[in-house]
Amino acid sequence: MSDSKIGLIGAGAIGRAHLVGAAGAKGVEIVGIADPNPAAQALAEEFSIPWFKDHRALIDETKPDGAIVATPNALHVPIALELIAAGTAVLVEKPITDSVDEGLRLGRAAADAEVPLLVGHHRRHNPIIRTARALVQGGQLGRLVSASVLATFLKHDAYFNEAWRRTPAAGPVLINLIHEIDLLRFVCGEIESLQAVTSNAIRGFEVEDTAATLLCFKSGAIATITLSDSAAAPWSWDLSSGENPAFPKTPVESHFLCGTEASIALPTLRMWRYPGERGWLQPLQDEEVRFDAANPYIEQMRHFGAVIRREEQPLTDAFDATRTLEVTLAVRDAARSGTTIRFG
Ligand SMILES: NC(=O)c1ccc[n+]([C@@H]2O[C@H](COP(=O)([O-])OP(=O)(O)OC[C@H]3O[C@@H](n4cnc5c(N)ncnc54)[C@H](O)[C@@H]3O)[C@@H](O)[C@H]2O)c1
């Protein structure tokens, strides 16, 4: 097996995570970085990778088998379409784009051209989440009753110096909640409807700082997600999971999945069940489910290499990611209208 040659387009915060992921993954080699920013040129030098000022120069000169699109969201679709036209496999960052129609258009273009396209919902590659999914879908919790997700953290004040981050183009619903919605879809199944409330009472920006979302799954299970970027609190995947070294790992649980036979908390994978007679008058017993820890960015990159070589199907294709986007976009609509939004 020869390594898949991959170009990185956009080398900002998540681009660096992809470089680290590629350095640890078997079967892939980063052959070039395209990003006009001088900081990206310095990053290319740090990793001893050729630097190009734009993605066309990178494609022409390195002829990669695949490319990662880690630019600002508005560029995801135009650049990915160019890659597809060149027959280059794509790993496009989340959100796939800003609108459902564009996401579907990209999915159809990739399918028509028979070019593989993977969307960077990296949490799906985390063994903790994959184990939780296997437990839920394998029936080890009995029938799923509910999920409670906490995504509460404090973005530092300087984060908001960039004006767009104070507008609806950013905000924790589009930037952060999308990860929780995708995690719940991946672990618990398809979402049928949602209701939501949002607030900007703490920061007073045009965009929300806090949101509460109520989701109903097709299975009949119910979930709540409490989200805030204005809370001095540790209960969020970013802080609890240790996935991203930029955030200090905090030993708390942030996700709780309850079934009729047992329940689990994440990221610990602590499972609670009745050892004997069931019922709230009896003691529950807990144990931590074993799993083999792995870095999801390395796992995602290994998978992308296999996708490029047509050895594996994309774990998150464009249509799947567009469904996550559709549910996420509906949160603000539901909050604005005060209605329940249903999905077909
Ligand atoms: N999977 C995750 O957990 C995760 C985390 C953070 C960001 N993201 C996503 O990754 C994308 C980038 O986010 P970020 O936080 O890294 O942003 P960033 O601003 O840190 O980096 C974006 C980079 O793209 C470069 N760029 C802009 N126009 C370009 C062009 N035409 N060609 C090549 N490069 C160009 C910029 O110079 C910059 O270096 C966004 O879509 C974001 O939603 C995903």
Half-sphere exposure of 183 (CA within 13 A, CB side): 30
Which residues, listed in sequence order, are joined to residue 227 by a DSSP beta bridge? 151, 211
Residues 6+ apart with CB under 8 A from 159: 165
* Residue 193 pLDDT: 98
Mutate to test the pocket of ligand 1, among 19, 35, 122, 298 (most ligand atoms within 8 A of CB): 35
Ligand 1 neighbours by CB, cut-off 6 Å: 9-15, 34-37, 40, 54-55, 70-73, 75, 93-94, 120, 122
Calculate how far, in angstroms, residue 58's C-alpha sits from the geometric centre of ligand 1: 17
CA angle 166, 96, 131 (to 5 degrees): 105
Residue nearest to atom 25 of ligand 1 (CA): 10
Low-confidence ranges of the chain (pLDDT < 50): none
Calculate how far, in angstroms, residue 190's C-alpha sits from the geometric centre of ligand 1: 29
The DSSP call for residue 281 is T
User: In ligand 1, which atom is closest to the CA atom of 175?
Assistant: 43
- CA-to-CA dists, residue 153 to 17, 76, 161, 198, 210, angstroms: 21, 27, 18, 16, 10
The DSSP call for residue 302 is H
Residue 94 has phi, psi (to 5 degrees) of -85, 155
User: In ligand 1, which atom is closest to the CA atom of 73?
Assistant: 41
Sheet of 262-266: strands edge to edge?
Answer: 285-288, 270-273, 262-266, 255-259, 144-152, 222-228, 210-217, 191-199, 341-342
Contacts 24+ apart (CB under 8 A), 153-156: 153/228, 153/229, 153/231, 153/233, 153/234, 153/236, 153/238, 153/239, 154/229, 154/230, 154/231, 154/232, 154/233, 155/229, 155/230
Q: Which residue, among 70, 72, 54, has the nearest Cα to 62 in the 3D structure? A: 54
* Residue 162 pLDDT: 87
Is the separation of the CB atoms in 68 and 118 below 8 Å?
Answer: no
**Residue 242, Ramachandran bin (φ over 0: left; ψ between -120 and 50: alpha; else beta):** left
Identity of residue 59: I
**For the structural domain made of 127-293+326-342, what CATH number should be given?**
3.30.360.10
What are the residue ranges spanned by the domains of the chain? 4-123+297-313, 127-293+326-342
Annotate 222-249 with DSSP letters as a single string.
EEEEEEESB-----SHHHHH--STTSPP
Identity of residue 230: S
Which residues, listed in sequence order, are joined to residue 151 by a DSSP beta bridge? 227
Q: Which residue, among 256, 282, 280, has the nearest Cα to 267 in the 3D structure? A: 256
Which residues, listed in sequence order, are joined to residue 6 by a DSSP beta bridge? 30, 66
Look at domain 4-123+297-313 and name its CATH class: alpha beta
* Residue 164 pLDDT: 84
Q: Where in the chain does DSSP place strands (E)?
A: 4-9, 28-34, 51-52, 66-69, 89-92, 117-119, 144-152, 191-199, 210-217, 222-228, 255-259, 262-266, 270-273, 285-288, 341-342
Q: What is the pLDDT of residues 15-33, one digit of tens each?
A: 999 999 999 999 999 999 9
Calculate how far, in angstroms, residue 73's C-alpha sits from the geometric centre of ligand 1: 7
Mutate to test the pocket of ligand 1, among 90, 93, 229, 299 (most ligand atoms within 8 A of CB): 93
* Residue 168 pLDDT: 87
Q: Are strands 262-266 and 270-273 parallel, antiparallel or unpaired?
A: antiparallel
